Amino acid sequence: MKKIVYQKPGMAEEERIVLKAGLHTHTTNSDGRFSPEEIIDMYHEAGFDVLCFTDHSCTNKVSEYDGKGMTLISGIELHPIGPRNTRWHILAVGVPEDFPHTHPATGQDAVDRANEAGAAVFCAHPYWCGFTPEEVMTLRNILGIEVFNTSTRYIGKDFNMYCWDACLDAGKEYTAIAVDDIHQRRDLCGGWTMICAESNSQEDIIKALRQGYFYSTQGPEFTKIAVHDGILEAEFTTCPAAVLVGRGAGGGAMISIENPDGPGTYSEVSSIKRDLKDCPRGLFRIQLRDAQGRYAWSNPIRNPYIW
């Protein structure tokens, strides 16, 4: 099992196991093309460790399924009416199998009910829904949003970095997950979440999600994310593009340089070690892009230094 060194500011350095997780899936119990058993087979063959079933407005009896070694989690996607008469897509990871299937009256009602049930709650694909960052930020007590959603790539709305960054710039310390939102086979394995947990139990997985111990990816991997004594250290898959993304027009910091000698040339990098005084102020994140154009995203890091 893969491991990562993870250290949050003010916390001790920890070595945690890394669990490849599919957190947004649909089956024939709602509008998916595959049965729960087929979804399990597909993700097992793809090397996943965690699989959450999040059918629309209904739960799955995951305790009755054979997970083939994966940790199966009961989840749900809720759809209350939101701004401009557009429905929210509220993703709740880790609800009881008997979670009520009635439609919540509001987005906040959906978030509150899911939190009360012990779930990790995210706003799904805000770009696809058409929600602005300001509208997303009206939802209290969500953990964050989906930064990437495979199923929406086919209409050009797969990435949600703009919404995420706008929320971070406004001071919302949102985390972000990458998901497939699988409905059909073409949605498989476009993006996933690497949960850095103490064990593969559902309790520890939900705890890690709630505490922000994870990163999201389409392929590149982190092996270390640590902040200690005012120093940021990260180690990851060798790639040509690694940036620190922070607040505003001047809030970024390039770690590697693409096209130094013209198109198609680049320098590769596999680690970062930088004083926080030289990092973007406020909340910033590490973003990787490999030679195949696949991204990975750390969760936000709060820089205590001010201008």
Q: Smallest Cα–Cα separation from 21: which of 251, 180, 127?
A: 180
pLDDT bin (cut points 50, 70, 90) of residue 257 is: low
Mean pLDDT of the chain: 95
Show the tokens assigned to 93. Answer: 């990871």
Report pLDDT digits (tens) over 65-76.
999 999 999 999
Q: Smallest Cα–Cα separation from 181: which of 190, 173, 172?
A: 190
Answer yes or no: are the C-beta atoms of 181 and 26 closer than 8 Å. Answer: yes
Instruction: Output the CA torsion sign for 252, 171, 86, 182.
Output: positive
Report pLDDT digits (tens) over 122-176.
999 999 999 999 999 999 999 999 999 999 999 999 999 999 999 999 999 999 9
Answer yes or no: are the C-beta atoms of 255 and 270 closer than 8 Å. Answer: no
Fold of 3-217: TIM Barrel (3.20.20)
pLDDT bin (cut points 50, 70, 90) of residue 103 is: confident
Domain ranges of the chain: 3-217, 222-303
- pLDDT value of position 264: 66
**Residues in the chain, overall count:** 307
Mean pLDDT value of segment 89-109? 95
Residue type, 42: M
pLDDT bin (cut points 50, 70, 90) of residue 258 is: low
Q: How far is CA 62 from CA 5, 71, 96, 145, 223, in A?
A: 31, 10, 10, 24, 31
Show the tokens assigned to 251. Answer: 């809030």
